[in-house]
């Protein structure tokens, strides 16, 4: 599965300077593919190709762009099983989850782009003038490994829909699905230079992209620390920066909720994608009087999890993506023990039945206090912290006591009470009573969870400049 070329200006080309990186299957710890690592010279070549293409592509009609999008959608559907299996191999998502969620929701972003583009008002009358929404230009897109195709699609689809051109840097840890997408885009007939892909690491290719003078916007998904670096590098050229960063989302189970059902659902939501999910409800807030019942329900939820080979359809929890991520999660589990939290389920080490792979025990901590490390830091693994509150106001205070603000969750049998609490949570999304994840509504964070929004019409707006035209009498 070697993929040693980059996609630049409509062609697969060799890197400027040869450098090889192995892609590791996290379930086997074996290298199963190789990619090339790019350099600033590769980024420069791609950015200049995107700039040349922008002059004509920005003037294409909505119908033309809809045609290319539909071609991408058709190609994506035809190769969806291949894309899903590739993501299972490159980042460990169980094959059922990779098919039904990882690949399918990525496809949704292109389908949603067709829906939004078909009725989007790029020009409108406003008072004495005209307001135009015009493509911002060349977009540098930097995406993570945890949702390796979803995050790519959520940026690429609105960018090319609005008339922008792009240079994509997928994560070097899970790059292969994005390279298949590049083949699909090529086969759609999208003009050369509109979409470009350069593999590489963050300190080299990512930083070159964020600072490149030909790039008008950089959209980044990843850690808050890396996001700060991207914004710093982008500042001298005053490019627009859109970021979706870390999270430490609270799940407030109010005292009138169905406790057992809410806890079981909350545990499984926390473990989505092996907990490698930026908006996971990793802090569960339970009324102090319901503490022991919550622990019992959490143990029931953990017992239902099927850990194992991610290529088997019955597996529900796969490995973490890498040795580094495994080590980080182990350190944080130990911190929870050392700081006095109650180990309700799971714990440190690799499960005894798994003799290889970056597998961890699905873990639940109880009696967690707001100042413990596991309640403050984003763990990015299947680790849940259960905290207790006495009043509704205290629950909201605990939920907001975090530098992050990506998502929140509220459970209550009273919809008005749930909404009242949701309005007080400082986060970009709040889910009430197990509401499904919707990719037509805006997604993004408050505070150190980022700025800007993705998905649907709000995702389009990130890639558009606003121009006012005055004095036209026609």
User: Please, are residues 437 and 249 in contact by the beta-carbon 8 Å criterion?
Assistant: no
User: Please, are residues 245 and 223 in contact by the beta-carbon 8 Å criterion?
Assistant: yes
Backbone torsions φ then ψ of 373, nearest 5 degrees: -55, -40
User: Residue 60 in 3-state DSSP?
Assistant: coil
CA distances from 117 to 78, 373, 421 (A): 23, 44, 35
Residue for token pair 């094959």: 95
Q: Dihedral of the CA atoms 2, 205, 405, 381 (nearest 10)?
A: 40
Quick check: is 278 catalytic? yes
What is the rounded CA–CA span in Å between residue 386 and residue 392?
16
Quick check: is 164 catalytic? no
Residue for token pair 């592509």: 57
Catalytic residue among 172, 207, 244, 462: 244
Catalytic residue among 139, 207, 278, 462: 278
What is the rounded CA–CA span in Å between residue 425 and residue 402?
11
User: Please, are residues 182 and 197 in contact by the beta-carbon 8 Å criterion?
Assistant: yes
Of 60, 318, 303, 295, the C-alpha closest to 174 is 318
What is the rounded CA–CA span in Å between residue 291 and residue 190?
56
Residue 10 half-sphere exposure toward CB, CA atoms < 13 A? 9
Q: Dihedral of the CA atoms 351, 352, 358, 361 (nearest 10)?
A: 0
End-to-end CA distance of the chain: 58
Active site residues: 244, 278
């Amino acid at each position: 599965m070697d993929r040693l070329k980059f996609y630049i200006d409509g062609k697969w080309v060799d890197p400027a300077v040869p450098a090889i990186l192995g892609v590791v299957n996290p379930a086997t710890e074996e290298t199963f593919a190789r990619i090339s690592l790019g350099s600033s010279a590769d980024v420069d070549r791609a950015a200049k190709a995107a700039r040349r293409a922008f002059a004509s592509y920005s003037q294409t009609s909505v119908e033309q762009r809809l045609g290319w999008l539909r071609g991408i959608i058709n190609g994506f559907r035809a190769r969806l099983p291949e894309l899903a299996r590739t993501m299972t191999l490159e980042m460990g998502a169980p094959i059922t989850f990779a098919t039904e969620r990882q690949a399918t929701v990525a496809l949704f972003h292109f389908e949603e782009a067709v829906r939004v583009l078909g009725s989007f008002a790029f020009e409108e009358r406003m008072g004495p003038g005209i307001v135009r929404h015009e493509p911002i230009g060349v977009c540098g897109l930097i995406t993570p490994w945890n949702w390796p195709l979803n995050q790519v699609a959520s940026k690429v689809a609105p960018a090319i829909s609005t008339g922008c051109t792009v240079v994509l840097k997928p994560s070097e840890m899970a790059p292969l699905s994005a390279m298949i997408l590049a083949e699909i885009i090529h086969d759609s007939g999208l003009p050369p230079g509109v979409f470009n892909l350069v593999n590489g690491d963050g300190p080299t290719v990512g930083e070159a992209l964020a600072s490149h003078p030909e790039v008008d916007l950089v959209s980044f998904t990843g850690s808050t620390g890396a996001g700060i670096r991207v914004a710093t590098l982008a500042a001298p050229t005053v490019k627009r920066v859109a970021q979706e960063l870390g999270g430490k989302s609270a799940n407030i189970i109010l005292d009138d909720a169905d406790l057992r059902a809410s806890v079981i659902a909350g545990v499984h939501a926390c473990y989505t994608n092996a907990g490698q999910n930026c908006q996971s409800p990793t802090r569960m807030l339970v009324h102090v009087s319901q503490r022991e019942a919550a622990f019992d329900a959490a143990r029931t939820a953990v017992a239902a999890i099927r850990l194992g080979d991610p290529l088997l359809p019955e597996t529900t929890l796969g490995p973490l993506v890498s040795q580094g991520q495994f080590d980080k999660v182990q350190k944080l589990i130990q911190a929870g023990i050392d700081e006095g939290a109650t180990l309700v389920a799971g714990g440190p080490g690799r499960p005894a039945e798994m003799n290889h792979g970056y597998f961890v025990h699905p873990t639940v901590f109880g009696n967690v206090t707001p100042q413990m490390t596991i309640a403050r830091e984003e763990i990015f693994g299947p680790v849940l912290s259960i905290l207790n509150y006495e009043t509704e106001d205290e629950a909201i205070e605990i939920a907001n006591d975090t530098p992050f603000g990506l998502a929140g969750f509220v459970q209550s049998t009273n919809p008005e009470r749930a909404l009242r609490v949701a309005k007080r949570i400082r986060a970009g999304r709040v889910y009430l009573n197990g509401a499904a994840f919707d990719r037509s509504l805006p997604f993004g964070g408050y505070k150190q969870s980022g700025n800007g929004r993705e998905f649907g019409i709000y995702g389009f707006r990130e890639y558009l400049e606003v121009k006012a035209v005055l004095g036209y009498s026609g």
